[in-house]
């Protein structure tokens, strides 16, 4: 029987690790000094290994024979990275190869991700405070910008949040990133955290199509969302800044569906979306297109599978771990499409290579490079039960 051959070449585990280490080395220049006992590649090797292994740098170094001391690596991670510079370099790093995969027109999504902080309540400087979630109001918070291409999410930018940061300031930075891309933005999908007058004004000023759920602020919109059937209404929000006020007007698409016992509830569920896009004419279309945004949540689930653990309060080190975790996802998607997929007429054929397998390959390569312990001392010889 005829069988299609997938490829003539192979990418081995150690080459995947080399690719990631070289990517970090090319974009992040560490000035370790002439008398440093280690080089930058050794630091990146441990960093990538810890993220792929889902463990801490100390644990990985403690179980390895060829790795530098954990305290040495952690010292350089804490002292050689400046937060502002790291964010700039990180965004360049994340977009380095992935922009090659972007088509002429893309949909982008922005979201806020909150990682709970359960430490001392009096020591929350540099953290982001929000509504109570998972037993705390203090979080290590990050905003991320993704490009959505054929239901695959490519990270374009990440930003750390702290008290004082606003949704509009984050969106302004992200829109600046989009303005610098060579590709056209079809639409911007935002979560309800970006629903305010300043964000809507920014979107209209940059002339981007957008979809986001509304928040029931005011009696007028509450009344609209409590009666009637699917429809489109005109709504407005008033904003204030430095003593000046303005009003931004936008359409709201109200989509209604019957619950039919879902979540043990009955009746009509009404969903409101602030949307201004040429391809949206009905409330059902607004809801359909907005559901595309929920795909980005899986990127956070993937990041939880491959991120170094830590108890440090150092925000720069934590941001670095998040960046490397997102880099692993971008690298996997890039390598999957550019090297593993088979070129053919009508589009490339993506062969089976799940993210979990990619992470496992990087983990094994790091274990081999660092000579991770594969045996433990025993105070008595193994008996017959240890042989077969």
Amino acid 200: pLDDT: 92
Q: What is the average pLDDT across 144-154?
A: 85
- Cα atoms in the 13 Å half-sphere on the side-chain side of 209: 16
Render pLDDT for 344-360 as a digit per residue (tens, 0 to 9). Answer: 777 777 788 899 999 99
Render pLDDT for 224-245 as a digit per residue (tens, 0 to 9). Answer: 888 888 899 888 888 887 778 8
What six digits make up the tokens of 85? 């510079």
Amino acid 1: pLDDT: 44
Q: What is the average pLDDT across 187-194?
A: 88
Render pLDDT for 13-59 as a digit per residue (tens, 0 to 9). Answer: 999 999 999 999 988 888 777 777 788 899 999 999 999 999 999 99
Contact 72, 58 (CB under 8 A): no
For residue 84, give Cα distances in angstroms to 52, 67, 87, 88. Answer: 25, 29, 5, 6
Q: Where along the chain do its domains lie?
A: 13-80+340-370, 84-304
Q: What is the average pLDDT across 307-317?
A: 88
Render pLDDT for 113-133 as a digit per residue (tens, 0 to 9). Answer: 888 888 877 777 778 888 888
- In this predicted structure, the answer to whether residue 295 has a pLDDT above a threshold of 70 is no
Amino acid 2: pLDDT: 44
The helix (H) or strand (E) run that includes residue 54 is none
- In this predicted structure, the answer to whether residue 297 has a pLDDT above a threshold of 60 is no
Q: Which fold has domain 84-304?
A: Transposase Inhibitor Protein From Tn5; Chain A, domain 1 (3.90.350)
Contact 320, 87 (CB under 8 A): no
Q: Which of 79, 3, 154, 110 is nearest to 320 (CA)?
A: 79
- In this predicted structure, the answer to whether residue 138 has a pLDDT above a threshold of 90 is no
Q: What is the pTM of this model?
A: 0.87
| Neighbouring C-beta atoms of residue 153, cutoff 10 Å | 21
Q: Which of 280, 253, 108 is nearest to 191 (CA)?
A: 108
Percent of the chain scored above 70 by pLDDT? Answer: 96
Amino acid 112: pLDDT: 83
Contact 142, 128 (CB under 8 A): no
Q: If DSSP codes are grouped into helix, strand and coil, which group holds residue 244? A: strand
- In this predicted structure, the answer to whether residue 3 has a pLDDT above a threshold of 60 is no
What six digits make up the tokens of 126? 């540099």
Does residue 105 or residue 346 have the better pLDDT? Answer: 105
Q: What is the average pLDDT across 295-323?
A: 80
Render pLDDT for 256-280 as a digit per residue (tens, 0 to 9). Answer: 988 877 777 778 888 899 999 999 9
- In this predicted structure, the answer to whether residue 70 has a pLDDT above a threshold of 50 is yes
Amino acid 7: pLDDT: 64
H helical segments located in 180-314 = 197-205, 219-224, 283-290, 297-305
Amino acid 273: pLDDT: 92
* Mean pLDDT value across the chain: 86
Render pLDDT for 26-37 as a digit per residue (tens, 0 to 9). Answer: 888 887 777 777
Cα distance between residue 119 and residue 380, in whole Å: 43
Cα distance between residue 86 and residue 93, in whole Å: 10
Contact 168, 198 (CB under 8 A): yes
Lowest mean pLDDT among 86-90, 110-114, 342-346: 342-346
Q: What is the average pLDDT across 301-323?
A: 86
Amino acid 338: pLDDT: 87
């Amino acid at each position: 029987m005829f069988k299609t051959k997938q490829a003539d070449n192979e990418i081995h585990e150690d080459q995947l690790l080399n690719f990631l280490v070289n990517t970090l080395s090319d974009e992040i220049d560490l000035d370790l000094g002439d008398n440093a006992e280690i080089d930058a590649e050794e630091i990146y090797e441990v960093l990538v290994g810890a993220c792929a292994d889902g463990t801490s740098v100390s644990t990985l170094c403690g179980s390895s024979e060829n790795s530098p001391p954990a305290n040495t690596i952690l010292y350089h991670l804490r002292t050689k990275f400046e937060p502002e510079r790291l964010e700039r370099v990180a965004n360049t790093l994340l977009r380095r190869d992935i922009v090659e995969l972007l088509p002429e027109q893309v949909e982008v999504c922005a979201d806020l991700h909150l990682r709970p902080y359960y430490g001392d309540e009096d020591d929350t400087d540099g953290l982001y405070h929000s509504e109570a979630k998972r037993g705390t109001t203090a979080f290590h918070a990050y905003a991320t910008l993704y490009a959505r291409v054929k239901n695959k999410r490519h990270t374009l930018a990440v930003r750390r949040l702290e008290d004082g940061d606003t949704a509009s300031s984050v969106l302004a930075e992200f829109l600046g990133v989009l303005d610098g891309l060579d590709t056209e933005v079809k639409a911007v999908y935002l979560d309800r955290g970006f629903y305010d007058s300043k964000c809507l004004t920014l979107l209209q000023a940059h002339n981007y199509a957008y979809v986001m759920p509304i928040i029931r602020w005011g009696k007028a919109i509450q009344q609209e969302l409590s009666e009637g059937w699917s429809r489109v209404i005109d709504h407005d929000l008033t904003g204030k800044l430095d003593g000046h006020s303005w009003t931004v007007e936008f359409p709201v698409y109200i989509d209604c569906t019957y619950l039919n016992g879902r979540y043990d509830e009955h009746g009509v569920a009404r969903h409101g979306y602030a949307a201004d896009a040429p391809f949206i004419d009905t409330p059902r279309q607004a809801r359909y297109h907005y559901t595309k945004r929920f795909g980005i949540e899986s990127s956070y689930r993937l990041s939880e599978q491959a991120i170094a653990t830590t108890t440090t309060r150092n925000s720069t080190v934590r941001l670095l771990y998040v960046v490397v975790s997102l880099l692993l996802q971008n690298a996997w998607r890039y390598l999957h499409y550019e090297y593993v997929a088979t070129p053919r007429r009508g589009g490339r054929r993506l062969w089976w290579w799940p993210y979990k397998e990619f992470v496992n390959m990087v983990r094994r390569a790091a274990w081999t490079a660092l000579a991770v312990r594969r045996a433990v001392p025993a105070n008595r010889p193994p008996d017959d039960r240890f042989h077969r």
